[in-house]
Chains A and B, each alone.
Chain A
Amino acid sequence: MRLSQLEVGETGIVKEFTDLEMSVKLMEMGCLPGEQITVSRIAPLGDPIAIHVSGYQLSLRRKEASTIILQ
């Protein structure tokens, strides 16, 4: 299951990443393995999405979200 497949309100736990370079940035922003992520909203045009992680709201494109694999 990838983060991009979650619907609004659904929650998952980060397992691993498919893109090393992207993962460095994502981890710096608090998306670490073991961290809980909730999709809080989706942009009106369907992309990007906003997630709740590490106590704050982060937005990222679907393509970027698809590099995060959930447990």
Chain B
Amino acid sequence: MDADLKVALVGNPNTGKSTLFNVLTGLNQKIGNFPGVTVDKKTGFCDLPDGRRAEIIDLPGTYSLYPKSRDESIVFSVLADKANPLRPNLVVIILDASNLKRNLLLYTQVADLKLPVIVALNMMDLAKKSGITIDVNAFAQKLGVPVVPISARKIEGIDQLKKAISYANKVALQEDTIDVESLAPQLIAQISKEIEVENPYYALQLAHQHETLKFLSPTQSDRIEELELEFSFHSQKAQATETIARYNFINDLLYDTVKKNETAQEENISNKIDKILTHRVFGFVIFFAILLFIFQSIFAWSAYPMELIGDFFVWTRSSLHHVLPAGPLTSLVVDGVMGGLSGVMVFIPQIAILFGFISILEDTGYMSRVTFMMDRLMRKVGLNGKSVVPLIGGFACAVPSIMSTRTIENWKDRMITIMVTPLVTCSARLPIYTLLIALVVPNRNVWWIFNLQGLVLTCMYLFSLVSAITVAFVMKFLLKARERGYFIMELPVYRMPRWKNVGQDMYNRAKAFVFQAGKVIVAISVILWVLASYGPGDRFKQIEQKYKQPQYTKQLNPDDLHRAIASEKLENSYAGVLGHVIEPVIKPLGFDWKIGIALITSFAAREVFVGTMATIYSVEGDAEKMESVQQKMKTAKDPDGQPVFTVAVAFSLMMFYAFAMQCASTMAVVYRETKNWRWPASQFIYMTGLAYIISFITYHLLR
């Protein structure tokens, strides 16, 4: 699909930029990645009234062209770099009509870059409600650009905006806002001459941002640095002077074109809501009630669709086994690849549900209040107010929770949240804990009401939260901040969520997960499947030969025979061999080679532990049906005749699963969210290292 022109949407956060993007492009959009940053690159197509097709690109929301984070720096790079394939022919600047003053700062900066510009004046309805009257004609005349009043939520003025886009000029016609050259006359002149830029504000921006801009060559950047020294240019001071000059221009402009009636109604409603939602008692009560509700929903509402997806894959695989000829290729496709695919798909319900909630929280403006309330508490341990949501979501599943850390603007806070979220007890650990607790903890009551087994399980949950916070606290000192930690944040007016946006968000997140993290998960599952299904040499053949002998076929019934073969095959597979190989390493933790095999096979997903235990002890069972496995494990004896699963071993194993990164999906998602293998790799190393040390201590204390 080729576009006739490229249009970029630029605006402050919370101005309805994404809503406008959705309205303009409909479902005709694509989420990709900007190189090097973690904001999604959203592009889409829009048919214009004159029959042309425009490619719309949604740039990250920012308050200024001077970036405060790496994500914001995208805006200037896209607008300024002539070689950037995304560079627009036209910029649509979205201004929140109810909050024009601060919104206009970004407009004046973009306008001075002298790209063709159109202004979309959004939230006109809100402005009217709060008593603001804007003389749109006078406003447009003063700026020298087309101004289209719209209401993106109510889909008003969109046709006019499309018309304005199609009639837009190819050259910039806007009036100058401030006298840019006077900010640094010699420097601007010299940069313009040497780097060959025509626009003075562009030259000034290069002076401010040359250290971080990728499209400048090192020699160009060094030369700018030299010039700055020569003309004693001070970036911060120049920015301050520029901002003050811009606000002077804005104040004059607004004085002539905007009348404000002092009965701000909307503000009052928002204020009343805030009095309750950020109340020192009710605020927290409501917040924790919401968290509990989200957590419960991920658990409860996703259970049924997850089961359906699981059943669907079981059915497809068994049908395929019937249809396709038996052989290694069929086995690879049906058991390896399809198995991995089903492992990817089961996450969709949880991701969709969590993102539905997050979208609502963000859309209504409540998420910023969460940050506002929790900041003091979370900052102490190196986290962000917004980290609470992923941490609590981690009790259900780390995968959607890590994806949700995108709402955290501060890079360091976000990385620490990603690094510690997998420590929280997720639902995949539950079957392991229940199995092991039932094995060694007596089922009786203490202090009349508490069941001892339940108490131990609760402790495991609390312990995981404590360890996540402790690790976060340590990382606060280890990780170097990339940007200065600001908190300065807008508290937007409360609004009703836009349900269509919520739906689109759920769909887009699930899609992004399947296509971006899915590949890695399938690949790892296939590798693990090969390890567990094939063995070195002709060992598998020998096993099959052995069980064909009459003493087995006659004495065992077909099911038992099948299980005996499966068990012996697993022991002789590559995974089994590996289990034996790592036995000396895990011996100090109290684990034998059988547990070693389970540690390897459950690397893709923790709950596989139960199934592997069942196969090894050649009984029927999985995460849902574990009675027989439990029985077998209880009576399991080591070569010296001592029981294998003592209290020390069971607790050591629980501690291992509490800390170890036994989840390929989490690693894939961490990679997707950080765009660098160093993060999932260091996470794997620290978690496994911690798991080893704590299991070791646990085993030796309890022995």
| Chain A residues within 8 Å of B, Cβ to Cβ | 20-30, 32-33, 40-41, 43-48, 50, 54-61, 64
Contacts and interface: CB of A to CB of B under 8 A. Distances in A.
B237 A60 contact: no
A21 B484 contact: yes
B250 to A, nearest CB: 10
Nearest to B282: A44
B239 interface: yes
A48 B375 contact: yes
A44 B488 contact: no
B632 interface: no
Interface in B230-276: 236-237, 239-240, 243-244, 247, 270-271, 274-275
Interface string B459-501: 0000000000000000000000000101111111100000000
Contact of B491 (A23, A25, A58, A64): A58
B240 A50 contact: no
A55 B99 contact: yes
Contacts of A59: 368, 372, 487-491
A32 B376 CA distance: 26
Contact of A56 (B244, B372, B490): B490
B240 A27 contact: yes
Interface string B274-285: 110011110110
Contacts of B244: 27, 32-33
Contacts of A30: 101-102, 105, 247
Given A23-B240, A64-B486, 13 more contacts: A24-B240, A28-B63, A28-B243, A33-B244, A41-B275, A41-B278, A43-B372, A43-B376, A44-B281, A44-B284, A48-B376, A56-B102, A56-B491
Contact of A27 (B101, B243, B372): B243
B279 A44 contact: yes
A55 B490 CA distance: 11
A29 B490 CA distance: 9
Contacts of B484: 21
A22 B264 CA distance: 30
B522 interface: no
28 contacts: A20-B237, A21-B484, A24-B239, A25-B68, A28-B243, A29-B63, A29-B102, A29-B488, A32-B243, A44-B279, A44-B281, A44-B283, A45-B376, A48-B372, A48-B375, A48-B487, A50-B491, A54-B99, A55-B101, A56-B99, A56-B492, A57-B491, A57-B492, A57-B493, A59-B372, A60-B488, A61-B375, A61-B487
A21 B237 CA distance: 9
Contacts of A60: 487-489
The prevalent SS among residues of B at the interface is helix
The prevalent SS among residues of A at the interface is mixed
A33 B244 CA distance: 9
A47 to B, nearest CB: 5
A30 B281 CA distance: 31
Contacts of B100: 55
A45 B487 contact: no
A61 B377 CA distance: 13
B357 interface: no
B242 to A, nearest CB: 9
B66 interface: yes
A54 B101 contact: yes
Nearest to B283: A44
Contacts of A22: 486
Contacts of A64: 486-488
Interface of B: 63-64, 66, 68, 98-102, 105, 236-237, 239-240, 243-244, 247, 270-271, 274-275, 278-281, 283-284, 368, 372-373, 375-377, 484, 486-493
B278 A43 contact: yes
A26 B489 CA distance: 10
A23 B652 CA distance: 53
B102 A41 contact: no
A2 to B, nearest CB: 16
Nearest to B490: A58
Give the interface centre of B275, B280, B377, B491 by most chain A CB atoms within 10 Å: B491
B278 A44 contact: yes
A45 B490 CA distance: 19
Contacts of B247: 27, 30, 32
Contacts of A24: 66, 236, 239-240, 243
Contact of A26 (B278, B279, B488): B488
Contact of B372 (A23, A32, A50): A50
Contact of A43 (B236, B237, B243, B373): B373
Given A21-B236, A57-B490, A64-B488, A45 B99 contact: no
Contacts of A47: 375-376
Contacts of A28: 63-64, 66, 105, 243
Contacts of A23: 240
A22 B236 CA distance: 10
Contacts of A21: 236, 484
B271 A58 contact: no
B205 to A, nearest CB: 14
Nearest to A49: B372
Nearest to B287: A44
Contacts of B486: 22, 25, 64
A44 B491 contact: no
A32 B372 CA distance: 23
Nearest to A46: B376
Nearest to A21: B236
Contacts of B372: 43, 48, 50, 59
A32 B247 CA distance: 8
Nearest to A31: B488
Contacts of B275: 41
Contacts of A46: 376
Contacts of B284: 44
Contacts of B271: 40
Contacts of B63: 28-29
B487 to A, nearest CB: 4
B279 A58 contact: no
B373 A44 contact: yes
Contacts of B491: 50, 56-59
Contacts of B101: 30, 54-55
A1 B80 CA distance: 42
A29 B274 CA distance: 21
Nearest to B486: A25
A47 B449 CA distance: 40
Give the interface centre of A32, A46, A57 by most chain B CB atoms within 10 Å: A57
